[in-house]
Amino acid sequence: MNSIQKSLLAHRSVRQFTSEAIAPALLDELLQCGLRASNTGNMQLYSVIVTRQEPLRSELCKLHFGQCASAPVWLTICTDVARYHQYCRINQCDEPYGNLLWFTSALVDASLCAQNICVAAESRGLGFCYLGTVNYNTRQIAELLNCPKGVVPVIAIAMGYPEEEPRRSERLGLDAIVHHETYHVPTDDELAATHRVRDNDPFNRRMVEENGTRNYCEIFTTKRYPRSMNESVSRDLLNFLKDSGMWDF
């Protein structure tokens, strides 16, 4: 097993950071690693917004509900067809990329870029946390960061030097995730067996007790991501995608 594999298998989400700044040259190296990621048609339909300065950093943190407040660097990775449409205009070409196909393509590209950055960051002793809250306040984050039409924040990463060594979260195994040749629909017993690693995890069992739920699954469906919240956030996100020109119907 090489050092990259060891680093990937040891990954932990870091939420508490020291006050040590990330050197600009190092940050540029990490971003270059991101830009080398595979992408659709080599169009690179994404942009990375680096936020380090106050008060903007604190304002951005508020839109992520105060998470990772000690992180010295925030990366907001956006799907971006605005840049390519401008490229089309100056070359007197059609501007055909403001639609669902290219939003999903750009979302994949942005995700590959983000993961390259994060793998490179861990190899240099940095820690980070992906923040799903970018989907909860997408419009407000876009406004704060002056994103023009065609630019949609989709990934947020808080990064810095770790002040903690948090627990390594459990993961479902290969038997739950990997399908050989075609998709295998598991029986209820098979699925329950593959999820025991999650249900029997001591931290998760403590969460069940503290939340008074019947099981770990119910924490997600009633506490963390209940239906009413999912539907409300989905409506807001869809409305923003329409306003941004990324959903053409």
Q: What is the DSSP string of 135-197?
A: GTSHHHHHHHTT--TTEEEEEEEEEE-BS----------HHHH--SSS--PPPHHHHHHHTHH
- Asked whether the predicted pLDDT for residue 248 surpasses 70, the reply is no
Q: Establish if 173 belongs to a structural domain.
A: no
Kindly state whether residue 49 falls inside one of the protein's structural domains.
yes
* Each residue's pLDDT tens digit, 62-89: 999 999 999 999 999 999 999 999 999 9
Its domain, for residue 30, covers 11-167
Confidence grade of residue 249 (pLDDT, cut at 50, 70, 90): very low
172 found inside a domain: no
- pLDDT given at position 2: 87
Task: Write the pLDDT tens digit of every residue in 159-217.
Answer: 999 998 888 899 999 999 999 999 999 999 999 999 999 999 999 999 999 999 999 99
Q: CA nearest 142: which of 224, 240, 13?
A: 240
Q: Indicate whether 236 belongs to any domain.
A: no
Give me the pLDDT at residue 238, please.
Answer: 92
Average pLDDT over residues 16-45: 97
Task: For 90-137, write each residue's pLDDT tens digit.
Answer: 999 999 999 999 999 999 999 999 999 999 999 999 999 999 999 999
Instruction: Quick: pLDDT tens for 40-65.
Output: 999 999 999 999 999 999 999 999 99
| Total number of domains constituting the chain | 1
Q: What is the pTM of this model?
A: 0.93
Q: What per-residue confidence (pLDDT) applies to 55?
A: 97
- The three-state secondary structure class of 248 is coil
Q: Is residue 125 part of a domain?
A: yes
Rounded to whole angstroms, the Cα distance separating 199 from 208 reads 9
**Sign of the torsion angle spanned by Cα atoms 110, 114, 117, 123:** negative
Tell me, what CATH number does 163's domain have?
A: 3.40.109.10
